[in-house]
């Protein structure tokens, strides 16, 4: 029995501790889900239902790729997986969610992935709610390549989508984002204002490499390492106490200590995928042990007490703190 209180609240859910499995293939089968629960995952995010699956199932088309208005439709469609390549069709996905809910007692967070628009998307969110999801995470994974599209209109689209989702479902809604916004604090605050219950920071972008033999782009999926953590720590520290939404860290948590840093910066929960894929589900229980050890060593009785201890909440102007830190870092080189 731990002598400290590791409990936390995320999206209004009471969790035993902050460590949980993020969206990954491990949650695409019941054995994986049970293993995660047995290893102590405080909650679980299911692998995503993708926007392309939803629109394809509904209309036979992938959103934004209509043969009627795009003469090179077939070529554009080619790189997408066929519907049979996804673990489940949308209907099966909802059914699977029901089975997961029946199989485990930890909170289950469903996940939608893409750039939402239209009724099909909202209906998928509602069906996830009806299937028993305790919350919904929406991953806005998008690389905007249209030079005519200004940042403001991309952001307005996200805000509209979240507003509509909030009107359509009653379960809590978390938004998983990329760090690549000109003014991330602004979009975070706007999401908070339209009712996002959580912000999940940040998406990793899987950037293709170039094969020099074939002169082709090749997909690369490398698991993350701790050096990706610091970008997340910075933004957690900046947002802590400035938004009502709860904050989830995803990306670069390779050890329990990385998770402890995330909580000190302001995270309510720490999601892990790469570390779980690398070490197995037991990574999560080891991480909780490291958290307890840290708390005992630093006489910190509750997670609430440690959360945000190393944030920028007391800084009147986080921007000048960041600028001063930048200059100090450069000046310290070689000393
Ligand atoms: C193999 C694999 C599958 C993933 N599947 C999903 C997914 O279905 N939906 C999603 O939002 N993120 C997905 N992710 C991203 C993870 O949830 C997580 O945000 C990312 O890997 C960063 O966390 P990490 O550094 O702990 O790996 C996936 C990641 C990996 C490695």
49-100 pLDDT, tens per residue? 998 888 776 666 555 555 555 555 555 556 666 666 666 788 899 999 999 9
For residue 311, being part of any structural domain is answered with yes
122, β-bridge pairs: none
Residue closest via CA to ligand 1's atom 30 equals 24
C-alpha 288/C-alpha 311 separation (Å) is: 22
Q: How far is the CA of 254 from the centre of ligand 1 (A)?
A: 14
For residue 2, being part of any structural domain is answered with no
Lowest-confidence region among 17-21, 55-59, 223-227, 263-267: 55-59
Question: Residue 132 pLDDT > 80, yes or no?
Answer: yes
Domain range for 198: 8-331
For residue 158, being part of any structural domain is answered with yes
Decide whether any atom of ligand 1 lies within 6 Å of the 250 Cβ: yes
Residue closest via CA to ligand 1's atom 4 equals 24
Return the CA Rg of the chain: 20
**Reduced to 3 states, what is the DSSP secondary structure of residue 245?**
coil
Domain count, the chain: 1
% of residues, the chain, pLDDT over 70: 90
Tell which atom from ligand 1 comes closest to the C-alpha of 48: 8
For residue 3, being part of any structural domain is answered with no
**Chain center to CA of 331:** 35
Alpha-helical (H) ranges within the chain are: 30-38, 51-59, 73-77, 90-103, 119-130, 151-168, 184-193, 229-239, 256-265, 274-279, 282-297, 303-306, 318-331
CATH number at residue 142: 3.20.20.70
C-alpha 125/C-alpha 132 separation (Å) is: 11
The predicted pLDDT at position 185 comes to 96
Residue closest via CA to ligand 1's atom 3 equals 24
CA atoms within 13 A on the CB side of 89: 8
For residue 1, being part of any structural domain is answered with no
For residue 127, being part of any structural domain is answered with yes
Decide whether any atom of ligand 1 lies within 6 Å of the 27 Cβ: no
Convert the pLDDT of each residue in 298-328 to its tens digit: 999 999 999 999 999 877 788 888 888 888 8
The predicted pLDDT at position 280 comes to 97
pTM greater than 0.95 = no
The predicted pLDDT at position 1 comes to 45
For residue 184, being part of any structural domain is answered with yes
């Amino acid at each position: 029995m731990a002598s400290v209180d590791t409990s936390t609240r995320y999206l209004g859910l009471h969790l035993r501790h902050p460590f949980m499995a993020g969206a990954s293939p491990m949650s695409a089968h019941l054995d994986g889900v049970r293993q995660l629960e047995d290893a102590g995952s405080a909650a679980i995010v299911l692998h995503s239902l993708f926007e392309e699956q939803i629109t394809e199932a509904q209309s036979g088309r992938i959103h934004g790729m209509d043969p009627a208005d795009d003469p090179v439709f077939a070529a554009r469609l080619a790189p997408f997986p066929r519907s049979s390549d996804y673990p489940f069709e949308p209907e099966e996905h909802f059914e699977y969610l029901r089975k997961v809910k029946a199989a485990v007692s930890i909170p289950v967070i469903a996940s939608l992935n893409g750039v939402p628009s239209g009724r099909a998307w909202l209906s998928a969110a509602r069906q996830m709610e009806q299937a028993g999801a305790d919350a919904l995470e929406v991953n806005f994974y998008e690389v905007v390549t249209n030079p005519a599209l200004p940042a403001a209109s991309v952001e307005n689209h996200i805000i509209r989508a979240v507003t509509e989702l909030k009107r359509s479902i009653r379960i809590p809604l978390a938004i998983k984002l990329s760090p690549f916004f000109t003014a991330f604090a602004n979009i975070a605050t706007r999401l908070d204002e339209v009712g996002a219950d959580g912000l999940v920071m940040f998406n990793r972008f899987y950037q293709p490499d170039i094969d020099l033999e074939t002169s082709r782009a090749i997909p690369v999926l490398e698991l993350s390492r701790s050096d990706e953590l610091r970008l997340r720590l910075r933004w957690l520290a900046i947002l802590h106490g400035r938004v009502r939404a709860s904050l989830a860290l995803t990306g670069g948590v390779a050890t329990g200590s990385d998770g402890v840093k995330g909580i000190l910066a302001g995270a309510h929960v720490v999601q892990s995928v790469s570390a779980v894929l690398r070490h197995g589900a037991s990574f999560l229980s080891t991480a909780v042990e490291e958290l307890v050890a840290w708390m005992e060593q630093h006489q910190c009785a509750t997670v609430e007490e440690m959360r945000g201890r190393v944030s920028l909440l007391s800084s009147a102007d986080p921007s000048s703190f960041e600028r001063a830190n930048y200059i100090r870092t450069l000046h310290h080189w070689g000393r």
